[in-house]
């Protein structure tokens, strides 16, 4: 069996090929590479875009189908994962009311 590297953040979410953090249950979509230096470069790139991420490398074996085998203890709890997504989706974006922020018009001086 070969070894590959995948990226994991502090919430145990795994990076997929679209550079999104996912639960890791769908191993086909996970970002993985056989080269540690490529994984470190990707880790640096992801950390540079969001400095709050604490990313680490996970070393995983490959299955017969050449997909990474992520151990159960390395996967996030699904309830926690869904809650985190709900927080991100349900967080309202503060909108500004154009009418409220409209400057008062100055009277015309003849």
Token pair, residue 93, equals: 């974006």
> What is the pLDDT, as a whole number, of residue 78?
77
For the entire predicted model, the pTM comes to 0.69
All residue ranges of the chain with pLDDT < 70 are 1, 80-110
- The domain ranges of the chain are 3-72
- Residues contacting residue 62 through CB under 8 Å, at least 6 positions apart: 1, 2, 3, 4, 68, 69
> What is the pLDDT, as a whole number, of residue 38?
96
What are the residue ranges of helices labelled H in the chain? 36-49, 78-90
Q: Are 13 and 76 in contact (CB under 8 A)?
A: yes
> What is the pLDDT, as a whole number, of residue 79?
73
Q: Are 18 and 26 in contact (CB under 8 A)?
A: no
């Amino acid at each position: 069996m070969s070894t590959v590297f995948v990226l994991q953040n502090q919430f145990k979410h795994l990076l997929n090929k679209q550079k999104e953090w996912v639960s890791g249950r769908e191993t086909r979509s996970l970002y993985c590479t056989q080269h540690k230096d490529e994984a470190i470069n990707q880790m640096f790139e992801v950390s540079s875009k969001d400095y709050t991420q604490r990313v680490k490398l996970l070393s995983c074996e490959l299955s017969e189908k050449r997909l990474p085998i992520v151990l159960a203890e390395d996967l996030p709890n699904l309830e926690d994962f869904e809650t985190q997504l709900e927080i991100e989706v349900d967080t309202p974006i503060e909108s500004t009311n154009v009418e409220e922020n409209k400057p008062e018009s100055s009277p015309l001086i003849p």
